[in-house]
Amino acid sequence: MRAFIHEGKAGLDGTRMDDMNIQPPKPDEVQIKVVTAGLNHRDLFVLHRHSPEDPPLVPGSDCAGILSACGSSVEGLEPGMEVIVNPGLGWPEESAAPPEGFEILGFPRNGTFAEYVNVPASCVEPKPPHLSWEEAGVLSLSALTGYRALMTRARIQPGQTILLPGAGSGAVTMMLLFAKKTGCRVIVTSRSEEKRNKALELGADAALDSDGDWNEQLNGEKVDAAVDTVGAATFQKTLDQVKKGGTLVLFGASAGDEVTFNLREFFYGQYNLLGSTMGSHEEFRQMLSFISKNNIHPVVSSVFPLQRAEEALSYLDQGNQFGKVVLRASEEPS
List the chain pLDDT tens, one digit each, 334 residues. 999 999 999 999 999 999 999 999 999 999 999 999 999 999 999 999 999 889 999 999 999 999 999 999 999 999 999 999 999 999 999 999 999 999 999 999 999 999 999 999 999 999 999 999 999 999 999 999 999 999 999 999 999 999 999 998 999 999 999 999 999 999 999 999 999 999 999 999 999 999 999 999 999 999 999 999 988 888 999 999 999 999 999 998 776 788 888 999 999 999 999 999 999 999 999 999 999 999 999 999 999 999 999 999 999 999 889 999 999 999 877 5
Torsion angle in degrees (nearest 10) through CA of 64, 2, 80, 313: 10
Q: Tell me how far apart the alpha carbons of residues 307 and 225 are, in angstroms, rounded to a whole number.
A: 41
Same domain, 116 and 154: no
Position 299: which residue type? Answer: V
Fill in the DSSP letter of residue 129.
T
Same domain, 137 and 168: no
Q: What residues make up the domain containing 88?
A: 2-141+299-328
C-alpha separations of 215 from 149, 209, 221, 238, 267 in Å: 24, 11, 7, 10, 21
Same domain, 86 and 172: no
Are 96 and 45 spatial neighbours (Cβ–Cβ below 8 Å)? Answer: no
Fill in the DSSP letter of residue 226.
E
Q: Residue 167's Cα: distance from chain center in Å? A: 14
Same domain, 169 and 110: no
Strand ranges (DSSP E) for the chain?
A: 2-6, 15-19, 29-38, 62-70, 82-85, 88-89, 103-104, 116-120, 124-126, 161-165, 185-190, 206-209, 223-228, 242-250, 272-275, 300-305, 324-328
**Is 271 among the domain residues?**
yes
For residue 250, the cross-strand partners are: 228, 275
Same domain, 132 and 90: yes
Position 20: which residue type? Answer: M
- Quick: pLDDT tens for 202-242: 999 999 999 999 999 999 999 999 999 988 888 999 999 99
- How long, in residues, is the chain? 334
**Is 316 among the domain residues?**
yes
At a CB cut-off of 8 Å and minimum separation 6, what does 317 contact? Answer: 44
Same domain, 118 and 182: no
Q: Tell me the CATH number at 195.
A: 3.40.50.720
Same domain, 26 and 79: yes
Same domain, 155 and 271: yes
Overall number of domains in the chain = 2
Least Cα distance to 205 among 225, 223, 188 occurs for: 188
For residue 209, the cross-strand partners are: 190
